[in-house]
Amino acid sequence: MKIAPLHRALKKYSGSIQNRIVHTGQHYDDSMSKVFFDDLELPKPDVYLGVGSGSHAQQTAKVMVEFEKVVEKDRPDLVVVVGDVNSTVACSLVSAKAQIPVAHVEAGLRSFDRTMPEEINRIVTDSLSDLLFVSEKSGLTNLRHEGIDEKRISFVGNIMIDSLVIYRDKAKRSRVLNSLVLDPQSFALVTLHRPSNVDRAETLSRILESFREIADKMDIVFPIHPRTRKAMQSFGLQKKAESIKQLKLVDPVGYIDFLALMENAKLVITDSGGIQEETTYLGIPCLTMRKNTERPSTVEVGTNQLCGEDFDRLMEKVNEILAGKQKRGTIPELWDGKTAERIAEILSKQ
C-alpha cells in the first residue's frame, strides 16, 4: 500500500529514475502478499528474496544476507524503505554499510514503547537514513528531538492515504459484503496481530470474551492474520471463537475487499497502525487495542481511541458508538492522496 503509489508517481520521471521493486518475502503468505500486488496493480517484483517466517533475528538476518547480494550486484544510487517491519531495518543496515543512501518513507513515528519490535526498527532505520519522509507533525518533533539534521527531513504526508484515495472507487464495486451476508453499518470489523494481544492465552481469551459481548449487539467480521490463527489454535481457543454465533472468522482478505469492509463498518477494532490512519481519513470510529500509538494524530484530531487491555473501556466505547455518540474527527494535514508525488519530486532532485 506504501510502495504502489510511489511506483506509480515515479513513472513521471522514467527518463531519469529507474526503480526496481524488491520483495523480501517477509509477508510470505499469498493472502498477505500476492493478492495485494494484484489489488494494487503492482508489477511482478524485480527481485524476490523469499525469506519467509522466523524469529525477529532470523528474519532480519535472512533479509540482510539476501539483500546484500542484490546491492552488490546492482549498486543502486538510493534504497527506499517503507514502514517499520523487519525488512525495513534489515535493508537499511545493508545499504548504510554499503555506503548507499537510504530514504525512509514514514519516518519519525514513535510509540515510545521499546517492547514493540517495530519501535526498535523505526529508531534504527531513522538513524541510518539520509532522507526522512514524515507522515504527520509528531514525526517532525520526534526527529528534531533525536538530533536529525533538518535538511534530511521532509514533511510529505501519509502515503497510505494515497492508495486509499486511488482505490476507493474500486472498493465500492467489491462484492465482499454480499459474500459475507452483511449490510452496511451493521457490523464491527476486527484485526489483531500484535504480540501483546495474541501471544498470551489469557489476553486472547479475554479479547474473545469481549467479542462475545459485542456480538450480542452486532455482527463482527474478523479476517484472521496467520499469526493470530496460529496462536488461537495453539492455545486451544479455536472452538471458543467458533462458538460466538455472530463472529465471522474469515481468512485474510485483499486490500480492495478490506477497504470495502472498513468503509462500511459501524466501527473498527484493531491493533494495526495503518488501520488507525485509514479509519481517521474515512471518518470511521476506531478502537485500538493498544496502550499507545506511534500515530498520535489519529487520536488528537482523528477518530481513533486507545483502549489498551481495558475491556470495560472497550465496551463503553462500543456502546457509545452504537448510541450515536462516537468521536468525530478531522483529516490530518497533507493526508490528501498526493504524498507519493511529493516524494517522487524530491527523489528526482537528488
Chain centroid to CA 189? 15
Q: Give the containing element (helix H, strand E) for 95.
A: helix 86-97
Q: Measuring CA to CA, which residue among 327, 329, 273 is closest to residue 82?
A: 273
Contacts made by residues 225-234, CB under 8 angstroms, sequence distance 24+: 225/32, 225/191, 225/192, 225/193, 225/198, 225/252, 226/29, 226/31, 226/32, 226/252, 227/193, 227/198, 228/192, 228/193, 228/198, 231/198, 231/199, 231/204, 232/198, 232/204
Task: Find where cell 526496481 sits.
Answer: 20
List phi, psi (to 5°) of 275: -70, -30
Return the exposure string of 187-209: e unless at least 16 CB atoms fall within 10 Å of the residue's CB, then b. Answer: bbbbbbbbebbbeeeebbeebbe
User: Is 193 a residue of the active site?
Assistant: yes
- Cell for 168? 476507493
For residue 234, give the amino acid letter: S
Catalytic residue from among 27, 104, 193, 225: 193
| Contact (Cβ atoms closer than 8 angstroms) between residue 329 and residue 301 | yes
For residue 237, give the amino acid letter: L
CA–CA dist 133, 105 (Å, integer): 5
**DSSP reduced 3-state for 231:** helix
CB atoms within 10 A of CB 33: 17
Question: Which residues are part of the catalytic machinery?
Answer: 193
